[in-house]
Amino acid sequence: MILKFFSGEFILNHVYDEIRMTGKFDLEIVVPGAFPLVFPRVRELSNCIDEYYPHQYTNGQFCLASDLELRMFFSQDTDICSFIEKYVIPYLYTYRFYEEYGVYPYGERSHGTMGNLEYLKDLFQVDDWKQVLDIMLFVVQSSYRGHLLCPCGSGKRIRNCHGEILKKVMNAALQDECRAILFEIERECNRKAKNGKRN
C-alpha cells in the first residue's frame, strides 16, 4: 500500500565546501503505507542518473544512506521535506560531483553489512572495530543505565561518554538490526575458521 506519492522536476543548485553543483532531475518519491518502518523509495525518471552509477539498485532506486542511518533518522523525524533536504539533495549533489570529478565529496559507504558497520563507527566516533562490536553487543544485550561503565572501554560512566548516542540507538530500536549484523559476523567468522582448518 502506498501512503503518498510525489513526482516532479527538482532543480539542484547547491554548494558544499565552496563547490557548486547544478542540475535538473525528474524525481519520484514513493512513501509506502508501512512508513516509517519501510523507507520511502526515490527514483529519477528521465535517465539523468547513469545506469552504471554504483549507488543505486537495478530498478533505479537511490541508495541514499545505510539502512541503519535511515532507521535512526526516521526514528527522530518523519517529515518528508526534511528527508528530501537531508538525504535526497545530498545524494543528487554527490551524484553530480561524482559525474564531474569521479570522487565522492563526502565519501561513500561499502556495500552491504560493512557499510552499516562503517556508519556505526562514525556514529559512535570510535577508532577501532572492537569498540564498535562491544557497543553493539551492549545495545543488543543490555538496557540503558547511565551509571554503568561505557562499553566503548573508555573507563567513563555511560552518561559521561556514549550515553546520548546509546539512548538514540535504543530509541530507534536498532537492537534487531545490530543483532542481525552480529550474527552475520559470527557466521562469517565460523565459515572462515572452517575453511582455514580445511586448508
Partner 1 sequence: MRKKELRQQDILKLIEGLDTSPTMYKNATEKYKAVGTYLQDQGLVCDIFPQGSFSLGTVVRPYRESKEADYDLDFICCLGDQKEETTAKYVKNVVKETLCKSEVYKDKLQNVEWDKCWTLEYAEVNGIGFNIDIVPGVSESDVIVQSMVNNGLSQEDAELAVAITDKKNQNYFWLTSNPRAYKHWFESINKPFLEYDRQNKRRVLFEKSRTVYNSIEEIPEGLERSSLQRVIQILKHHRDVYYCRIRKENFKPTSAIITTICAEIAKEIDSSLNVFELLQEIVNDFEIYSRNQILTEEEFSRQYETKNIIRKTNGKWFIMNPVNPKDNLADSWNDNPEKAELFFKWVMVMKKDFLDSLQIEDNDFVALLENNFGRDYVKKNINLKEYASVTPVIIANTPKPWRK
**Cβ closest to partner 1, residue 66 vs residue 151:** 66
What's the min distance (Å) between Cβ of 104 and partner 1? Answer: 7
Burial class of 51 by CB neighbour count within 10 A (0 to 12, 13 to 18, 19+) = exposed
Task: Count residues binding partner 1 (CB under 8 A).
Answer: 45
What's the min distance (Å) between Cβ of 193 and partner 1? Answer: 26
- Measured CA to CA, the distance from residue 61 to residue 91 in angstroms comes to 12
Residue type, 173: A
Q: Enumerate residues 53-72 that contact partner 1 by CB under 8 A.
A: 54-57, 62-67, 69
Regarding 104 and contact with partner 1 (CB under 8 A), the answer is yes
At residue 93, φ and ψ (nearest 5 deg) are: -60, -50
When binding is defined by CB under 8 A, the residue of 89, 133, 140, 172 that contacts partner 1 is 89
Regarding 20 and contact with partner 1 (CB under 8 A), the answer is yes
If phi > 0 it is left, if psi is from -120 to 50 it is alpha, else beta; for residue 3 that is alpha
The three cell numbers locating residue 73? 533518522
Regarding 48 and contact with partner 1 (CB under 8 A), the answer is no
In order of 27, 38, 41, the CA distances from 61 in angstroms are 10, 14, 6
**Cβ closest to partner 1, residue 73 vs residue 138:** 73
What's the min distance (Å) between Cβ of 40 and partner 1? Answer: 14
The three cell numbers locating residue 100? 564531474
The three cell numbers locating residue 36? 516509517
When binding is defined by CB under 8 A, the residue of 2, 4, 5, 16 that contacts partner 1 is 16
Query: Is there a contact between 95 and 25 (Cβ–Cβ < 8 Å)?
Result: no
**Cβ closest to partner 1, residue 65 vs residue 136:** 65
Regarding 112 and contact with partner 1 (CB under 8 A), the answer is yes
**Cβ closest to partner 1, residue 48 vs residue 137:** 48
At residue 149, φ and ψ (nearest 5 deg) are: -70, 140
Task: Summarize as ranges the residues that interact with partner 1 (CB under 8 A).
Answer: 13-22, 54-57, 62-67, 69, 85-87, 89-91, 93-94, 100-112, 115, 118-119
